[in-house]
Structure 1
């Protein structure tokens, strides 16, 4: 009995740990999808303005609105896909940084242009002393930081620029592809009203269409991995039934109450399977840099319940067969 319990704990610990590692892969994949689209979420909106409006006028609408909070606006250059003029309000989403820092609110009030660049552009920077500069159109722009992560994405080739207040007042926002995104999903009607937009629609990006319309396609290998882990958990219940057969025959010989035997056997299975699952999750969370926990807990709890239900059904069926055999 002790060997069975130790085996079950170790088995469940390993499977739960594997499930956490697969959710880490999902987390990394989701981040890559996001970084491939300028660090914009799947809820970002592409907007078109009704009237001619400078960047400063549009930025002021956002700054003075109480309906749109923690947002970022990307004024994407139509000629150069790698250049984006950036503006943020409140606690907007920040991409992963390799060095330096991303834009702070004070940078949007700067008298000079400042930039943040992707890691593939780092070797093109001019660094005379402690400050790096990016040369664009024969002008040198101070660089605040370098974006990117260890996996690599389209963001590695991007240039984000926060232009000066003086330039904002002169440049027309209508000349750019304007995208707005919030740290939380924005209300479409509020976006349209606050920004006086003629149209507001979600970005039609292949990456996000895959993610929204078919999670399985975007995360196929991780999905298959979780399916295998689920089957392994269920197989553990089948293996434990083999141990139960011998114990049941002993219970018959000792004339024990069968209902009590089923309850006691399931109780031990549930306890040690649960302990292993908890240990595996804890080890996984300590070993990996996980930022989203809910899916991990929901998955493992659901599989735990399913495995326990299967164990009870199989145990009752096994006992029924043995009774018929007697």
Structure 2
């Protein structure tokens, strides 16, 4: 009997791993979509502005007119296919790096521009005392990170922070294609101000076409949850059969069920924690809070299954006693 119970606990553990793995698949594919736009979301739109003002003036306009709106801007150079300027008024999506780090909100506020390079970035660099710099137009940009290899990203690209006070803020706006990630209303207002047309990037169109592409993972999460649910029902039934063989009744029966049930649920809680740490170690999880909530919900459901089965058997037994 003990071996059967151990097997059921192992099945529950494997089911939790299956649930977490499906979440990992979903987040991995979402990350791929984000990587295709270099950290931008599906709200991204293209704007081609012909204004003669510089980049810093454009950023100043955004700061002045949309102080409470979340805006992230990428400016792709028209003449240099591998150069992109980045600015945001909030924390950007963190892209995975081979070394160093990606940009943070503080990097856009100062007077110094920073650089993040693709693995095969085509840009002049210089190393001074173990510090790497990008050398452009007699200006040096400190390299703070090297991006990991992903097929969705340009390996020869490099990214520079920009802002009103930074050297890159002096670049001419008309030399760049503006890529804005914000609400649809904000993007329309910006485009209207600059008399520019709004275009939808290809990666956004593809995502809209395949917006139901996660149904398979969702279905498998449900299947694994059902397996864990049924396993715990069976475990509760086996515990009930065990206690009935002891011929306990009344308060002794209830106390045994409560104490044993709490022990089982604590073991399953430990199994859930084990699944979380294993999944965090072995799988890609971009948002661990989602994994925590999903596993916690799964544990609550299987705990409810165990409790329901025991309570149902207990009430059934009491009714039989009363009828007798």
Structure 2 counterpart of 1:105 = 107
Structure 1 counterpart of 2:148 = 149
Structure 1 counterpart of 2:186 = 190
Structure 1 counterpart of 2:272 = 281
Two-structure CA RMSD over aligned residues (Å): 4.8
Indicate yes or no: 2:172 matched with 1:171.
Answer: yes
Deviation at 1:7, TM superposition (A): 5.3
- Is the contact between residue 117 and residue 143 of structure 1 (CA under 8 Å) also seen in structure 2? no
* Higher mean C-alpha deviation, range 31-40 or range 205-214: 205-214
* Higher mean C-alpha deviation, range 271-280 or range 164-173: 164-173
Inter-partner Cα distance in structure 2 for 1:187 and 1:23: 27
Inter-partner Cα distance in structure 2 for 1:17 and 1:48: 47
Q: 2:214 is paired with a residue of what secondary structure?
A: helix
Change (3 A) 1:297 1:132: closer
Structure 2 counterpart of 1:240 = 235
Inter-partner Cα distance in structure 1 for 2:299 and 2:121: 48
C-alpha offsets along residues 11-47 of structure 1, whole Å, 9 cap, x if unaligned? 4344334534543444344333312211112233333
Change (3 A) 1:51 1:269: farther
Deviation at 1:233, TM superposition (A): 0.5
Deviation at 1:214, TM superposition (A): 1.8
Structure 2 counterpart of 1:158 = 157
Normalising by the residue count of structure 2, what TM-score does the alignment of the two structures yield? 0.67
Q: 2:120 is paired with a residue of what secondary structure?
A: helix
C-alpha offsets along residues 165-185 of structure 1, whole Å, 9 cap, x if unaligned? 566446134x4321123xxxx
Deviation at 1:132, TM superposition (A): 3.6
Inter-partner Cα distance in structure 1 for 2:88 and 2:64: 13
Structure 2 counterpart of 1:213 = 211
Q: 1:281 is paired with a residue of what secondary structure?
A: helix
Q: 1:275 is paired with a residue of what secondary structure?
A: helix
- Is the contact between residue 86 and residue 160 of structure 1 (CA under 8 Å) also seen in structure 2? yes
Change (3 A) 1:69 1:180: same
Inter-partner Cα distance in structure 1 for 2:292 and 2:81: 40
Deviation at 1:9, TM superposition (A): 4.5
- Is the contact between residue 46 and residue 180 of structure 1 (CA under 8 Å) also seen in structure 2? yes
Deviation at 1:144, TM superposition (A): 0.9
Deviation at 1:73, TM superposition (A): 1.2
- Is the contact between residue 42 and residue 204 of structure 2 (CA under 8 Å) also seen in structure 1? no
Structure 1 counterpart of 2:224 = 229
Structure 2 counterpart of 1:60 = 60
Deviation at 1:106, TM superposition (A): 6.3
Q: 1:74 is paired with a residue of what secondary structure?
A: strand
- Structure 2: state its 5+ residue gaps: none
- Is the contact between residue 26 and residue 214 of structure 2 (CA under 8 Å) also seen in structure 1? no
The total of aligned residue pairs comes to 307
Indicate yes or no: 2:290 matched with 1:295.
Answer: yes
Inter-partner Cα distance in structure 2 for 1:266 and 1:309: 14
- Structure 1: state its 5+ residue gaps: none
Change (3 A) 1:22 1:310: same
Deviation at 1:4, TM superposition (A): 6.3
Change (3 A) 1:57 1:79: same
Q: 2:47 is paired with a residue of what secondary structure?
A: strand
- Is the contact between residue 117 and residue 145 of structure 2 (CA under 8 Å) also seen in structure 1? yes
- Is the contact between residue 114 and residue 144 of structure 2 (CA under 8 Å) also seen in structure 1? no
C-alpha offsets along residues 104-137 of structure 1, whole Å, 9 cap, x if unaligned? 5368634xx7632112338x7644543445577x
Q: 1:116 is paired with a residue of what secondary structure?
A: strand
Change (3 A) 1:294 1:267: farther
- Is the contact between residue 74 and residue 179 of structure 2 (CA under 8 Å) also seen in structure 1? yes
Inter-partner Cα distance in structure 1 for 2:249 and 2:93: 63
Q: 1:64 is paired with a residue of what secondary structure?
A: helix
Q: 1:109 is paired with a residue of what secondary structure?
A: coil
Inter-partner Cα distance in structure 2 for 1:117 and 1:277: 45
Structure 1 counterpart of 2:117 = 117
